Each structure stands twice: as structure tokens, then as C-alpha cells.
Amino acid sequence: MDIATPAGMLIGLVLLIVAVILGAGASGIVAFINIPSIMIVVGGTVAATLVRYPLSRVTGLVSVVMKTIFFKSSTPQAEMKRLIEFAKLARREGLLALENKVGEIKDTFLSKSIQLLVDGTDADGLRTILEKEIDNIRYRHSIGKGVLESMGTVAPAFGMMGTLIGLVLMLRELDDPSKIGVGMATALITTFYGVLLSNLICLPMAGKLEIRSKEETLLKELIMEGVVAIQSGDNPGIVEEKLKGFLSPSQRKEKTLENLKDKIKSVK
């Protein structure tokens, strides 16, 4: 799981709560809980998103966000190691020997790739089918990103609308000065919610979705290249060389370290 995302949200909220408590004691928190304000900002943002996007995309947002942000994807190093093992197996016992592995694999993209390999699909066919699959993944992510960005743009506008509603209602009852302060405070809370929702949640999550999308599609491309190399009958050393290009320098260092540990183990 990507700990930074929920941790960042939590830290941001805790900081704001602590700041409120430092300013007005624990009772100050109560001033920031206002049901109509939440209704306007969260509800209004969702409503505008419904006007803009088909229903299925809005309802699918939660699952896309969950899958791409909170579920731990594999690392390039792990996938590379696994593919090299498959290459060794294929070399030793033929492509069909990989069939037993399909059941063990949890990642549906890899298991589909191996199944296609075992079924005798040629290099071009593999590439066409798997690239199409990667495009679909990228497209699903881009929809989630678009919805989140659109929500991040609309949220402060609904915050402002809520504040305007509060101000208009307050200004009509100026006779009772004791209510002015509370009325205006309540009005401003809606703007606060809108800015918070946009800047701590929607826009940063859209940014993270983009980064995770790049990481995940890079991983899928590594798998595709590995599977195509296995299909071509490359020996495991060449497969490793081909896949190394997908690793960043720091990942390569880890890899070397890992190799060393493996060698030490194998010596023992």
C-alpha cells in the first residue's frame, strides 16, 4: 500500500485540527462541523460531476482510486526476477512447461500473457494484444484522473456558493448584531471546505493517480517485453539485459545487491 497518500491526508487534517484547538480550545472544533456546508460542497461537487460524466464513470471512480492508489503493485525488480525464472524454465523444458505456472500467478495481466505464450501466439500477436490491454489500463486511469481533477476545480466554486448563501441569509437579519458573527463564521466554513476538499484531497489524488498509472503501465510494458523475449527463445541472460532498461539507476543498484545476496545464498 502507498502509505504516503493516506498519511498525507491524515497529517493535513490533524494539523488543521491542532491549529483550531490551539486557537480556541477543543470546543473550537464544533464550530467547523456544519452539515449544510458539507452538503453543499460535497453534494454539489458530486452533482456537477454527474452532469459532466456518465454515471458509470462516477460510480467506478472509487474502485479505480482504491486499486491504483491503495493496492501495492509489484516492483519492477520482482517482475524481472520472475520473468528470468520463466525464461530459464522455458529454455529447459519448453514453453508448455509454463502452463503449470499460470494458476500460481495472481496478476491477471501476467497470467494472461503466459497463457497466450503457451497457446502458441507469435511475437507480433503477443505485442498487439498486450499493448491493447496496456492502453485500456492507461485509459481507465485517465478517466479517474479526469473525474478527480474536475471535482478539484468545482469544489471551491461550490464552497463559494455556500458562503454566498450564508452571507445573503445573514445580511437579511442585520437587526440582531449578536447573530452576525456566527452567521458569517458559518458562511466562511463552506469556502474552507471547498478549498480543503480541492487542495488536500481531489487535486493531489489526481496527481498521484497519474504517477501510479505511469508506474503500473511501465511494469506491464516490462512484462510484455519479457514475455516476447521468452517467446523468441532468448536465453535468460539476454532477457535480463533487455529488461534492465526498465529499471532506474537506484533500482539497478538494489538489483545488484539482491543478486549478491542470491549468490551468497546459493554458495551456502
Residue with cell 466562511: 188
Asked if 168 is part of the footprint of a copy of itself (rule: CB under 8 A), the reply reads yes
The span from the CA of 239 to the CA of 144, in Å, is 34
Q: Is 235 within 8 Å of 87 (Cβ atoms)? A: yes
Binders of a copy of itself among 32-91, rule CB under 8 A? Answer: 32, 35-37, 39-40, 43-44, 46-55, 58
Residue with cell 453543499: 40
Question: From the list 61, 118, 189, 224, which residue makes contact with a copy of itself (rule: CB under 8 A)?
Answer: 189
Question: From the list 8, 105, 107, 138, which residue makes contact with a copy of itself (rule: CB under 8 A)?
Answer: 8
The span from the CA of 226 to the CA of 2, in Å, is 26
Asked if 154 is part of the footprint of a copy of itself (rule: CB under 8 A), the reply reads yes
Cell of 109: 495481466
Residues 6 or more apart whose CB falls under 8 angstroms from that of 54 comprise: none
The span from the CA of 158 to the CA of 140, in Å, is 27
Tell me the number of residues near a copy of itself by CB under 8 A: 86
What minimum distance in Å lies between the beta carbon of 91 and a copy of itself?
A: 27
Asked if 121 is part of the footprint of a copy of itself (rule: CB under 8 A), the reply reads no
Cα Rg of the chain (Å, integer): 26
The span from the CA of 80 to the CA of 103, in Å, is 19
Residues 6 or more apart whose CB falls under 8 angstroms from that of 121 comprise: 129, 231
Asked if 116 is part of the footprint of a copy of itself (rule: CB under 8 A), the reply reads no
Segment contacting a copy of itself (CB under 8 A): 73-81, 110-118, 188-196, 258-266? Answer: 188-196
Smaller CB separation from a copy of itself, 32 or 77: 32
Question: From the list 67, 161, 218, 254, which residue makes contact with a copy of itself (rule: CB under 8 A)?
Answer: 161
Smaller CB separation from a copy of itself, 233 or 253: 253
Question: From the list 97, 105, 116, 184, which residue makes contact with a copy of itself (rule: CB under 8 A)?
Answer: 184
The span from the CA of 63 to the CA of 57, in Å, is 10
Binders of a copy of itself among 123-142, rule CB under 8 A? Answer: 132, 136, 139
Give helix 55-65 / helix 44-52 axis angle, nearest 10°.
Answer: 120
Question: From the list 62, 96, 123, 164, which residue makes contact with a copy of itself (rule: CB under 8 A)?
Answer: 164
**Residue 42 gets which letter from DSSP?**
I
The two most distant CA atoms of the chain are separated, in Å, by 90
Asked if 19 is part of the footprint of a copy of itself (rule: CB under 8 A), the reply reads yes
Binders of a copy of itself among 219-258, rule CB under 8 A? Answer: 245, 248-249
Smaller CB separation from a copy of itself, 91 or 204: 204
Question: From the list 89, 102, 116, 185, which residue makes contact with a copy of itself (rule: CB under 8 A)?
Answer: 185
